[in-house]
Chains A and B, each alone.
Chain A
Amino acid sequence: DAKTTQPPSMDCAEGRAANLPCNHSTISGNEYVYWYRQIHSQGPQYIIHGLKNNETNEMASLIITEDRKSSTLILPHATLRDTAVYYCIVASNDYKLSFGAGTTVTVRA
């Protein structure tokens, strides 16, 4: 599976949109982009996934560039409870997730 590159950390203000970037320049045609997050001392939580079209659900939006080499996870109105480590994962199947180090997002009041 393709590797991903994420910034190690980022801060955002409560109530503002949080835009989390992810590079996956070696992604292949059958690989999906998944986003999970892990709040301190909890197990990872699924957020969203996509293949090539932009996706939106009740938690977030996923924007994938046309060449699929990068994506952005958007949390539209960040709250303090969104403070977590966010993982961008590229996988060709749905069972072997390679998490990497992720981005530590801190939402500040």
Chain B
Amino acid sequence: GAGVSQTPSNKVTEKGKYVELRCDPISGHTALYWYRQSLGQGPEFLIYFQGTGAADDSGLPNDRFFAVRPEGSVSTLKIQRTERGDSAVYLCASSSQGSETQYFGPGTRLLVL
């Protein structure tokens, strides 16, 4: 079946602009996660959704970052007033109810010029 998909695969933007990154989880998965991976480092947790609600957003670095999942399926990560330091790969993962396994998408490579 289809895995986790993320769009766009690459995004180049200018400092100060607003961007939206989309994640389509595996059908039926109730849990959804966002991570950020900087060059040469492991992924860092950003936020976790259980259904429509954010169960843990402690990893969001500041209030320029926001994520939604209005219908409990697709999620959008929104970054306002982008900074060069936001350049990274943004990874999305999903898992089914009661499962310990997170399935990751290929990521969106964000470059802020």
Contacts and interface: CB of A to CB of B under 8 A. Distances in A.
Interface stretch (B13-21, B38-46, B60-68, B80-88): B38-46
Interface of A is mostly: loop
Nearest to B49: A95
Given A95-B31, A95-B33, A96-B56, A43 B104 contact: yes
B35 to A, nearest CB: 8
Contacts of B102: 44, 46, 94-95, 97
Interface string A16-56: 00000000000000001010000001111110010000000
B30 to A, nearest CB: 11
Contacts, number: 53
B79 interface: no
A100 B105 CA distance: 19
Given A32-B100, A46-B101, A46-B102, A95 B48 contact: yes
B99 A87 contact: no
A43 B4 contact: yes
Contacts of B106: 41-43
Nearest to B50: A95
A44 B107 CA distance: 10
A99 B33 contact: no
A45 B43 CA distance: 12
Interface string A64-101: 00000000000000000000010100000011111111
A41 B106 CA distance: 7
- Interface-centre pick from A41, A44, A95, A100 (highest chain B CB count, 10 A): A95
B104 A44 contact: yes
Interface of A: 32, 34, 41-46, 49, 85, 87, 94-102
Given A43-B93, A46-B102, 10 more contacts: A34-B100, A44-B43, A96-B48, A96-B56, A97-B45, A97-B102, A99-B42, A99-B43, A99-B44, A101-B41
